[in-house]
A and B are shown apart, each in its own frame.
Chain A
Amino acid sequence: MSATTEPLMLVHQESQRAAELPPVAIAAQRAGVRSPGLLLSWDHAHRDAVADLAANAGLLDPLLADPGAVAYGRATFGPWKKDMARWVGRAAPSTATEWDRTVEQALRAQRRLDVARLIVPGVELHGGQFPELRDAVAAARRAFQTRPDDDPPWLLRLCVRDEWLKKTTLRDRLLDELADLPEAIGVALHVRWARDDVFAERASVEPLAAAVGDLADDDREVFLLKAGVLGWLATAWGASGFSAGLSQKSWLDHTREIKIPGRRGRRPTEWYFEPQLLATFRRSEHNRLRAQAGYQPCDCRFCRRRAAGGAWRNLARQHDLFTLASLADRVQASTLAARRRRVRAIVRQAEQDWQALVPAAGLSGRGQHLKTWLVLL
């Protein structure tokens, strides 16, 4: 991703609903917005599903493929027992030889897909898993030394629990280990937050800003996986791109199920990401917002179909991805400082709109995230 194309937003593949992703690119193109790319995932889908989606990506461009680094030892996927990628099917690598084999297989599979970035499989860091980080870094380094000349840029995938960012000692340790990576290897960082409301907390967002800023200041590319709107926000601190999916918990509660009193079982809540306010609202809340003076309804393809009675939840999800692609498009700039100014302007406007709309709609209690973000921008 060059300075002129950053930041890049990717939609990422999940286990289901892959067919809902290419329409997001079509909607973007028709709206004059730069199309999002596609992040395939061997972590979330079986081998054939990855190949199928790669072949049917449509306008989703560029293409990246996440080798996964969260759970190994899964030979087959779902009740159909479909084969997972070979490295996902084996136990997590523990020796240099196993690491080299995992990295080699994951990179070879990505090269076959003609991806725009190669992602080296890494580790998920829990407390005390420091040696595995070293193994992953060393394996990436070894593989990088023997890379073909025509390889695209590389990213090392790291999955960290939020404590690795929030505790200064752990964050320093993480950044210290990454400091020895060749400069040309960027970092694809996947942060697993303990709660899904962290995006409003300064204690969570500020460490993310610090980590992204440190890496970017070290001339290292940073890409935030599965980060949603936090990923977009992080582009102000130097992230070159981010991915978001149809169901993600880091910022959007689409997958959270709430119990309806008086009923047996659970049913999913219907959520909608409001572009004007950079926040997620329940369907009922959103209906109240729409009635307020000054509310600007989204005119995307999905919202038009939703208004016409289309499947609310599915269309809202696609709208969310379209919105993030639009936001990424709006903050393109030739310098990081200029991009940060654009992000700040969008957040500031959202904060002003919040004051005008949310209390009038009788909604309260949220909106702190915009104040938090403004402090850090």
Chain B
Amino acid sequence: MADSPRIPPAVVAKRFACDELEFVGRGGQSDVWRAVRDGAEEVLRILVAVNDPRRVEHEVSALQAIDNPHLMAFYGLGEIAHNGKRHPVIRGEFIRGGTAADRIDSDEWPDVRGALCLARGTLTALAALHEADLVHRDIKPGNIALRDGDWDSAVVLDLGYVRNLAAPPITVYPQRIGTVPFMAPEQLMLQPAALRSDVYAVGIVLYLLLTRRHPFLDGDEEIPLDEYLGRMDSPDWPRWDDVPHADLVGPLLAWNPHARPRSRRALADFEEVLA
């Protein structure tokens, strides 16, 4: 996230009557703040760049539908006006401890068990979402918070790209929705994300945490998309020789969605290993 908010703190603090206000960061669609109101801490996610109000409806209804400790708790939907525009604001639980991306950036990696625990927590949230026909579409380290910094307490954030399979589609395909290094092949090929596209993303995150490298990229290299897709479909990628629990991670990275386990089954596999 870049450093500067798109709406001044004074405007936010006044609108939400904050006792404390701290800018956390900004993403493609939103600015994120930590606020203390009436003595209680919460997150304010100001959707400054959402091009379709139905996306907000989907996100809110998804957050309302799921009550799961591994998914950010939803407190309410607000609105803020700035420069003549009105922006929706999603209020929710503020999770202390930062995200998995913050920890990776600080070169603080989990041990094998911690990585598996993070996958288990993420899959717990996904199983609940998937049960409700919801695809997250943007699982990545930056969208997985660690409650109190604990790898065993993963909390999935940001349902801004959530796709409701039972609702009329918002996205007009072909279109690429998500974050490229964590997207499944079908997403990269501009097809609609499937429930098991999220499972693929968990596979990439887990591989990254277990090996400290991306499964299909060497270091920070940038390669053309065709080459990247070729690696995803190649028997030579990724390397498995030094991957702990490769039998668990491998199926998550299957090219075809149907060859990946559904989130609930993957969760059961992880629970068995961690028991």
Contacts and interface: CB of A to CB of B under 8 A. Distances in A.
Contact of A172 (B194, B195, B256, B260): B256
Interface stretch (A179-187, A263-271, A285-293, A326-334): A179-187
A179 B258 contact: yes
Nearest to A134: B192
Contacts of A138: 165-166
B194 A179 contact: yes
Contact of A179 (B133, B168, B195): B195
B121 interface: no
B262 A179 contact: yes
A52 interface: no
A213 B265 CA distance: 17
Interface in B234-264: 256-260, 262, 264
Contacts of A178: 258
Contacts of A96: 168
A182 B258 contact: no
Contacts of A176: 186, 194, 256-258
A142 B167 CA distance: 8
Contacts of A145: 133, 166
A141 B257 CA distance: 18
Contacts of B91: none
24 contacts: A96-B168, A138-B165, A138-B166, A141-B166, A145-B133, A145-B166, A172-B256, A175-B258, A176-B186, A176-B256, A176-B257, A178-B258, A179-B194, A179-B195, A179-B196, A179-B257, A179-B260, A179-B262, A180-B165, A180-B195, A180-B196, A183-B264, A214-B258, A218-B262
4 cross-chain pairs, A with B, having the tightest CB-CB distances, nearest first: A175-B258, A179-B258, A176-B257, A176-B258
Interface string A173-199: 001101110110000000000000000
Contacts of B165: 138, 141, 180
Contacts of B264: 183
Interface in B153-187: 165-166, 168, 186
A172 B133 CA distance: 21
Interface class of chain A by DSSP? helix
Given A96-B168, A183-B262, 17 more contacts: A138-B165, A141-B165, A145-B166, A172-B256, A172-B258, A175-B256, A175-B258, A176-B256, A176-B257, A179-B196, A179-B258, A180-B165, A180-B196, A180-B257, A182-B133, A214-B259, A219-B265
Contacts of A172: 256, 258
A178 B262 CA distance: 12
Nearest to B132: A145
Contacts, number: 40
A142 B166 contact: yes
Nearest to B265: A219
B114 to A, nearest CB: 30
Most buried by B among A178, A179, A180, A218: A180
Nearest to B131: A182
A179 B254 CA distance: 13
A297 to B, nearest CB: 46
A359 to B, nearest CB: 44
A207 to B, nearest CB: 14
Interface in A199-240: 214, 218-219
Nearest to B192: A134
Interface of B: 133, 165-166, 168, 186, 194-196, 256-260, 262, 264-265
A180 to B, nearest CB: 5
A214 B133 CA distance: 21
Contacts of B257: 176, 179-180
A96 B260 CA distance: 28
Nearest to A168: B256
Nearest to A96: B168
Contacts of B265: 219
A96 B257 CA distance: 24
B194 A141 contact: no
A206 to B, nearest CB: 17
Contacts of A214: 258-259
A145 B166 CA distance: 8
Most buried by A among B195, B256, B258, B259: B258
A182 B131 CA distance: 8
A260 B163 CA distance: 61
Contacts of A142: 166
A255 B29 CA distance: 63
Contacts of A141: 133, 165-166
Contact of A180 (B168, B194, B259): B194
Interface in A147-182: 172, 175-176, 178-180, 182
Interface in A234-248: none
Interface string A65-80: 0000000000000000
Nearest to A174: B258
Nearest to A141: B166
A183 B265 CA distance: 11
Nearest to B256: A172
Contacts of B259: 214
Contacts of A218: 258, 262
A172 B256 CA distance: 7
A96 B168 CA distance: 9
A59 to B, nearest CB: 39
B250 to A, nearest CB: 16
Most buried by A among B165, B186, B195, B264: B165
Most buried by B among A96, A141, A218: A218
Contacts of B186: 176
Nearest to B196: A179
A132 B263 CA distance: 26
Interface string A284-313: 000000000000000000000000000000
A241 to B, nearest CB: 22
A211 to B, nearest CB: 10
